[in-house]
Amino acid sequence: MAQDADVIVVGAGLAGLVAATELADAGRRVLIVEQESEQNLGGQAYWSLGGLLFVDSPEQRRMGIKDSPELAWQDWLGTAGFDRDEDYWPRRVAEAYVNFAAGEKRAWLREMGHRVFPVLGWAERGGYDACGHGNSVPRFHITWGTGPGIVEPFERRAREAEARGLIRFCWRHRVDELLTTGDHVDGVRGSVLADDRAERGVETNREEKGDFEFRAQAVIVASGGIGGNHEMVRRNWPERLGRPPQRMVSGVPAHVDGRMIDITEAAGARVINPDRMWHYVEGIQNWNSIWPNHGIRILPGPSSLWFDATGRRFPAPLYPGSDTLGQLEYIQSTGYDYSWFILDQSIIKREFALSGSEQNPDITGKSWAQTLKRPFGRKGTGPVEAFKENGVDFVVRDNIEDLVKGMNELSGDHLLDPADIRRQIEARDRQLTNPFTKDFQVMAMHNARKFSGDKMVRTAKPHRMLDPAHGPLIAVRLNILTRKTLGGLETDLEAQVLNEQGERIPGLYAVGEAAGFGGGGMHGYRALEGTFLGGCLFSGRNAGRAAAKAVI
């Protein structure tokens, strides 16, 4: 039977591009089939902030951060909480990834022109003990150029390989079935969808115009996760996180639908840890939406006061930036799908950042002049101020009574007592009289400012929130934001897919989010952040190099 390529890659996101370019570098012919149009090259990575985890990097050392592979692995294990028989391969992939992040990852990317913003972020700070969840030190390196900056090197390599005849793109080709000869996966079959010139991320048509069938020696599934398919999210929702949310906003476009995970499972692949998922709790509805139900995540500093829907302050250590899934579990235990930040203008201008390439035009556009304006001035960034003015989840008032009235009107639940909210904020404000405190969130604020990066650009100077000099007061309704799939197709260290018996399926590989970012869930239950794009890079590279050796 004639072959259309040596290897077929299903999906033109970051993991697929990495795998394809590694194959092309080895002289292999690659066919990339993608259900969306060419405008969506790079997939979800394009929309990201471009955060990457490096361990003991020059950027860390320049900021006085002492990190090591041993500390990073300790943090990973405390965060992942591996506790299942099926965690064998996820744990092995995770250990290999941490070594990669401490080793050649940075040099490999720099050789392709990749650069990072010099001030590090400190994501998922935990707040439990040394063996528990969270990053002991700042490790979140933002790509200079954000998501487009991480996609660009691989898009450039792919285009160069396309010009040499080694990579061919088949846009608007939706795979409906994996083909096999005996037990060997050697092709794909599906439907050609009608042309659609919609802009990147906009929902496209599903009109079928014909069929296709392609053959190769191997197939790499790089189709992404399930975050755009809320029905599938709810179906896999774990009991440990409470009831599935009735209302969520989408952090990914509609085509992130999980179809290929089911299709690959139908071909004999084993799916593990489908109940492990990563959804953010600081989601706000995009006032300028691109895809359906479009949500944006707030990346908060440590100072905003966090209240549940009934007006109770979140318990320790569930403060902004500490433990995403712990916060999600707490929110779902309240019986409501939303919560509130209360803050002021001094906090929003210094501490609010928005995730996504389009929400950070200064870093995305690589403009130092614009980026250096962030720590100064009375206002936040342009996108933050636009949300404050236009976002349906924002309430801005000059006093607590009017603020709480607006919050109750926005939610429609009328659960908040202005006197009680005032009492809690005044109690917190009294803890700022001394440089020490019994309030664990205030401790976290002081701790954050001991890190130079937070003190410079990400943490407001501690102050009384009810001081009019720092007003106006701001409340933000926070929604559950769907995002990442932490489980998926089980794979080994070479990204080869395993069947129910734990055996390799000849010719079949899986990478990126479809494989739980490697192994079928290398993050375990929780993530350290900066590891999602990294998992796409690592698994894509492993699959491309392994498949290049396997094909004749």
- Tens digit of each residue's pLDDT (9 = 90 or more) over 236-280: 999 999 999 999 999 999 999 999 999 999 999 999 999 999 999
Whole-number Å distance between alpha carbons of 353 and 294 = 17
Q: What are phi and psi of 9, to 5 degrees?
A: -110, 125
- DSSP string across 143-179: BTTHHHHHHHHHHHHHHHHHHTTSEEEEETEEEEEEE
Determine the straight-line distance between the first and last CA of the chain, rounded to whole angstroms: 15
DSSP 3-state assignment of 6?
coil
Contact between 90 and 273 (Cβ < 8 Å): yes
Contact between 14 and 536 (Cβ < 8 Å): yes
CA dihedral 522, 524, 529, 532 (to 10 degrees): 40
pLDDT of 377 reads: 75
Q: What is the residue type of 501?
A: Q
What residue ranges of the chain have pLDDT lower than 70? Answer: 1
Token readout for 173 is 């080709």
pLDDT of 375 reads: 76
Whole-number Å distance between alpha carbons of 27 and 133 = 43
Q: What are phi and psi of 367, to 5 degrees?
A: -105, 105
pLDDT of 376 reads: 79
Q: Is 202 left (phi over 0), alpha (psi -120 to 50) or beta?
A: beta
- H or E segment at 452? helix 452-453
Nearest to 302 by CA among 189, 454, 169: 454
DSSP 3-state assignment of 109?
helix
Chain length of the chain? 552
- H or E segment at 502? none
pLDDT of 1 reads: 62
**Exposed/middle/buried for 464, CB within 10 Å: 0-12, 13-18, 19+?**
middle
Whole-number Å distance between alpha carbons of 187 and 318 = 48
Contact between 173 and 260 (Cβ < 8 Å): no
The two beta strands, 394-397 and 249-250, are unpaired
pLDDT of 374 reads: 84
Residue whose entry in the numeric block shows the structure tokens 């707490």: 330
Q: Which CATH class is domain 5-223+486-550?
A: alpha beta
pLDDT of 104 reads: 97
Domain boundaries, the chain: 5-223+486-550, 282-481
Whole-number Å distance between alpha carbons of 276 and 60 = 30
- Chain-centroid distance of CA 129 in Å reads 25
Kindly calculate the radius of gyration of the chain based on its CA atoms and give it in whole angstroms. Answer: 23
**Exposed/middle/buried for 175, CB within 10 Å: 0-12, 13-18, 19+?**
buried
Residue whose entry in the numeric block shows the structure tokens 């650069």: 115
pLDDT of 170 reads: 98
- Chain-centroid distance of CA 62 in Å reads 26
Contact between 253 and 221 (Cβ < 8 Å): no
Token readout for 348 is 């929003």
